[in-house]
Amino acid sequence: MGMFTGKKGLILGVFNEQSIAWAIARIVLDEGGLCGFTHFPDRPDDPRQKNKGRLVKLTEGNPGAKFLAPMNVQSDADIAAVMEQAGRELGTIDFMLHSIAFAPPDDLRRDTVETSREGFKTAMEISAYSLIAVANAARNIYSDKASILTLTYFGGERAVPRYNVMGVCKAALDSIVKYLAYDLGPRGVRVNAVSAGPLRTVSGKGAGVDDMLFLYEAMAPLQRNITHEEVGRAGAFLLSDAAGGITGEILHVDAGYNIMGSPGRMLEKYKDVFVKQPQTV
pLDDT for residue 272: 67
pLDDT for residue 206: 55
Tens of pLDDT, residue by residue over 9-27, are 999 999 999 999 999 999 9
pLDDT for residue 11: 98
pLDDT-derived band at 225, boundaries 50, 70, 90: very high
Residue ranges per structural domain of the chain = 8-274
Which residues are CB-neighbours of 190 under 8 A, at least 6 positions away? 145, 146, 147, 148, 181, 184, 238, 243, 244, 246, 247
Q: What is the pTM of this model?
A: 0.93
pLDDT-derived band at 278, boundaries 50, 70, 90: low
Catalytic residue list contains 142: no
Phi, psi of 195 (to 5 degrees): -110, 100
Catalytic residue list contains 179: no
10-24, 48-62, 165-179, 199-213: which has the minimum mean pLDDT?
A: 199-213
| Catalytic-role residue among 129, 142, 153, 270 | 153
| Catalytic-role residue among 129, 142, 163, 257 | 163
pLDDT for residue 127: 98
Report which residue type is found at 206.
Answer: G
CATH class of the domain at 8-274: alpha beta
Tens of pLDDT, residue by residue over 247-273, are 999 999 999 999 999 888 877 777 666
pLDDT-derived band at 279, boundaries 50, 70, 90: low
pLDDT-derived band at 51, boundaries 50, 70, 90: very high
